[in-house]
Amino acid sequence: MLKSGWVWYIEERQLLEDVLSPIDSGSAVVSTTADWSDFAEYIRKHPSSLSKPAEELASQFDLEVNFVRSFLAAMQAPIQQESFLEVFARTIKGGVQRVGAIIRDTFTGLTARPVLCLCSTLVVAFGTLTLLAISAQSLGLGSNFVFTGAAGALIGAVAVFSISTQAVCYYRHARARYAFLASALVLMGWFLFLNSAVTDAGVNDLREIGMPIPVFLAMVSAILTAVYFVFALTSTFFGSYAQYRRASREEVEVSRQELLNRLFMVDSRLQSLQMVEGWNRIRWVDRIRTSRTFFLNALLIGVALGMLEVSLLGTYSQVTGRAFEINTQMRIPLILSALGMYAVKIGLGVLIGFLGGRPGRSMSAILALLAGCWLATWFPLGVYGPKYAMGMLSVPNLLENAFWVVTAGLFTGYLALVEDRNYRNQRLSTDDLPSLLAEQIQLQWRLGLGLQATTVLVVDVAKSTLMKSNEDPLKVEFSFREYQGMVEEICARHGGTVLSTAGDGAVVGFARPESAVQSAREVLTELPGFNMRRNRLDTPFRLRIGIHAGQTEANLADAPFNEVIDIAAHIEGVAPIGGIAVSGVVREAVTEGVEFAEMARPVDGQAVFVVLNPTVEA
C-alpha cells in the first residue's frame, strides 16, 4: 500500500528521534537531549526567532554557539532571484497574453450574432471588390489595378479580416445551416463581382469559343463558392467536434448533486404538464434515421444515382467512342449536366452522412451509398460494364474511397451530433413531453436508481479520545492512518470498497454478507500484530464492528446517505469491544464457519447477533 507524504514525514521524524535520543549527555555539542528538544520546539512555535543572533539563542538554551550557527545555516533556504532574461521573457509573455485577450474579446463580440456577422463581412468583402473593379474600369486603370498597390493591400486586409472573423463564427456556433446560408450569399456575390469585373476582351474571347457569358460567370462563381463552402464546413466541423468533446467532458464531470437537481426539475415540469396534441410528431430527420431500412435506402439511392451517371456518361462514351472528359470542345448543356450530377452526388453523400446521426453510422451510410453507385457500373453501356466495375476495385481506388468515407463520415457525423444536441435542448426548453420523459429516464440511469443488494461494514475505535490524550499529534495521525490503511487493505481482499473514513471509523461496502463478515474477522485477527509493529501510541487499538445488509436505490459509493449505513452504524454502537455484531439478515446469509448468539435488544427493528468466534483460527 502506498504511503502518503505525511506518513513518510512522520516515519522520518520518528527515525531521527530514535537516532538522536541516545546522544551522550557529555557531548561537546549539546548538554542534554532535553536542551536541543526544547530548542527545536521553541523554533517550531516561534519561526521569527530565527532572526536572533546565534549567541543569544545559545545562551537561552545553554547550547554551544557553533551548534546553533550550524542549525541556523541549515534552516536558511537559498533566495531565488530572477535573471534579466527571465524577467524579459515574463514581460513578453504577459504582453502576448494581454494582446490575445483583446483579440479574443473582439472576435467574441463580432461573432455574437452569426447571421449578422456573416452577412456584414460578406457585404464588406464583395462590396470592396466590386467598388475597386468598377473604379478601375471607369478610370481606365487596367485589370491589374485591383490586385496591386494600395488596392491590393486593401483587398488583402479585408480578406484576412473577413476570413478570420467568419472562421471564428463558424467554429463558435458550429451550425451547418450558417454555412449553407453564407454560401448562397457568396455565390451571388461572386456572380455580381465577376459580372462587373469582366472586360471587353474577355467577352470577345468567350464569344469566340461559343460560351455564353452568364453561363461562364455562373460556372466560375460555383467553383469559387464550392471552395468557400469547403472552408465554411471545415470550420464548422472543427467547432462541432470541439463542442461535442467539451459537452461530453462536462457531462462526465457533472456531480451527483447536479444530476439530482436536474432530475427533480424534470420531475416538477412533468407533473405540471398535460397531454396535448402535437407531441406525437417526429421530425423527418429522426423518422428517416430510425427507419429499419435506412442503410438499404442508402444503398438503393446509390444505385439510382449510379444509373443516372451510367445513362449520361455511358451514352456519351458510346456515341463518341471515348471516355467522358470535360473540355472546352464540349457543349455547354453536357458540361452543366455532368457538373450537376457530380454536385448531386456530393450533396447526397453529405445528406446521407448527416442522416446517419453519429460518425460510425455516417461512415456506414456513405459506404452503402458508394456501394450502390458501384453496383450500377455493372450495367453494360459505353465504357461501363463488368470490366469497368472490377477495375474500380484497384488498391489506389479503394484507398481513395476509404479516405473520403472516413473524412465525410467524421465530418457529417459530428455535425449531426451537435445539431441533435441543439434540437434536443430546444425541445426541452419548450416542455416537450417525449423529450422530458427521455431526459428523466436517462438521468435515472445515470444516477443508478434501482434496487441493489448491498452489505455495509462499520468499524470504529473504542475509546479513541483516551488514546489520543497526552500523545504527540503526529504519532496520533500516523497511527490512525496506518489503522485505516490496514482496514482498507483487508477489506479490499474480499471485494470491499471503502465509502468513508471520517473520524476514527470506516464505512466499507460489500456485495455479499459473507465477504463482510470474513473481512471483519481478519481485521480483528491481525489487530494484535498491528498494535505491536505499526501502532506508535502507548494505548493499543481496540475495535467494534457492526454489519448490516439490505436493498439500496443506488450505488453506496455515489449515495452514502442511506438507511443501510445508518443501521450498520447503530449495530456497531452496541457491539462489544473487540467483537462483531451483525443484523439478522447477515446472520441468515452466513451459514458456515461462524457462530452467533442473539443479543437481548434489537436495533432499529433489526435482531442483532454477536459473533462468538470473531477471529480466524490459524
Q: What is the pLDDT of residues 578-612, one digit of tens each?
A: 999 999 999 999 888 899 999 989 998 899 999 99
Residue 279 predicted with pLDDT over 70: no
Q: Is 535 exposed, middle or buried (0-12, 13-18, 19+ CB in 10 A)?
A: buried
Residue 26's pLDDT band (cuts 50, 70, 90) = very low
Q: Are 574 and 582 in contact (CB under 8 A)?
A: no
Residues 60 and 545: their CA atoms lie apart, in Å, by 52
Position 558 scores a pLDDT of 60
Helix (H) or strand (E) holding 250: helix 213-253
CB neighbourhood size of 558 (10 A): 12
Higher pLDDT, 282 or 458: 458
DSSP codes joined into one string, 452-477: EEEEEEEEEETTHHHHHTTS-HHHHH
3-state SS, residue 262: helix
Rounded percentage of the chain residues whose pLDDT exceeds 70 = 81
Residue 506 predicted with pLDDT over 80: yes
Distance of CA 241 to CAs 207, 278, 416, 486, Å?
Answer: 48, 33, 10, 46
Residue 52 predicted with pLDDT over 70: yes
CB neighbourhood size of 231 (10 A): 18
SS3 per residue for 410-427? HHHHHHHHHHHHHHHHHH
Kindly state the average pLDDT of the residues 445-468.
82
Lowest-confidence segment of 204-213, 258-267, 361-370, 519-528 by average pLDDT? 204-213
Position 596 scores a pLDDT of 92
Q: Highest-confidence range of 64-68, 442-446, 479-483, by mean pLDDT?
A: 479-483
Residues 267 and 395: their CA atoms lie apart, in Å, by 56
Lowest-confidence segment of 75-84, 280-289, 406-415, 454-463 by average pLDDT? 75-84
Pairing of strands 608-611, 579-583: antiparallel
Distance of CA 28 to CAs 23, 32, 65, Å?
Answer: 11, 10, 11
Kindly state the average pLDDT of the residues 143-149.
57
Residue 29 predicted with pLDDT over 50: no
Kindly state the average pLDDT of the residues 288-309.
90
Residue 459's pLDDT band (cuts 50, 70, 90) = very high
Lowest-confidence segment of 20-34, 65-79, 100-114, 212-226 by average pLDDT? 20-34
117: left (phi over 0), alpha (psi -120 to 50) or beta: alpha
The x, y and z cell numbers of residue 288, run together, are 428517416
Q: Which residues contact 613 (CB under 8 A, 6 or more apart)?
A: 521, 594, 595
Position 139 scores a pLDDT of 62
3-state SS, residue 507: strand
298: left (phi over 0), alpha (psi -120 to 50) or beta: alpha
Closest CA to 257 of 446, 455, 12: 446
Position 207 scores a pLDDT of 62
Kindly state the average pLDDT of the residues 256-275.
80
Position 14 scores a pLDDT of 55
Q: For residue 68, which amino acid is it?
A: V
Q: Which residues contact 605 (CB under 8 A, 6 or more apart)?
A: none
Indicate the average pLDDT of the chain.
81
Kindly state the average pLDDT of the residues 152-173.
86
Residue 205's pLDDT band (cuts 50, 70, 90) = low
Q: For residue 557, which amino acid is it?
A: A
Residues 175 and 30: their CA atoms lie apart, in Å, by 78
* Cα radius of gyration rounded to whole Å, the chain: 40
Kindly state the average pLDDT of the residues 526-540.
92
Position 129 scores a pLDDT of 80
Rounded percentage of the chain residues whose pLDDT exceeds 90 = 24
Pairing of strands 497-500, 452-461: unpaired
Q: For residue 523, which amino acid is it?
A: V
Residue 32's pLDDT band (cuts 50, 70, 90) = low
3-state SS, residue 213: helix
Q: For residue 10, which amino acid is it?
A: I
Position 524 scores a pLDDT of 94
Sheet with 608-611: list strands edge to edge. Answer: 497-500, 506-510, 452-461, 543-552, 579-583, 608-611, 596-598
Distance of CA 340 to CAs 114, 219, 229, 326, 534, Å?
Answer: 30, 11, 16, 13, 82
Residue 28's pLDDT band (cuts 50, 70, 90) = very low
Residue 323's pLDDT band (cuts 50, 70, 90) = low
Position 30 scores a pLDDT of 46
Residue 79's pLDDT band (cuts 50, 70, 90) = very low
Higher pLDDT, 465 or 20: 465
The x, y and z cell numbers of residue 347, run together, are 450533396
Q: For residue 598, which amino acid is it?
A: E
Kindly state the average pLDDT of the residues 262-283.
73
Q: Are 377 and 306 in contact (CB under 8 A)?
A: yes
Residue 334 predicted with pLDDT over 70: no
The x, y and z cell numbers of residue 258, run together, are 447536479
CA 77 to chain centre: 42
Position 470 scores a pLDDT of 83
The x, y and z cell numbers of residue 597, run together, are 448468539
Residue 303 predicted with pLDDT over 70: yes
**DSSP secondary structure letter of residue 84:** H
Angle formed by the axes of helices 213-253 and 176-197, nearest 10°: 160
**DSSP secondary structure letter of residue 50:** G
Higher pLDDT, 86 or 472: 472
Lowest-confidence segment of 188-197, 364-373, 461-470 by average pLDDT? 188-197
275: left (phi over 0), alpha (psi -120 to 50) or beta: beta
**DSSP secondary structure letter of residue 606:** B
Higher pLDDT, 66 or 457: 457
Q: Are 459 and 506 in contact (CB under 8 A)?
A: yes
DSSP codes joined into one string, 526-580: HHHHHHHHT--SSSPP-EEEEEEEEEESS-TTT----HHHHHHHHHHHHSPTTEE
Residue 328 predicted with pLDDT over 80: no
Kindly state the average pLDDT of the residues 253-265.
82
Per the listing, cell 473504542 goes with 462
Helix (H) or strand (E) holding 288: helix 284-289
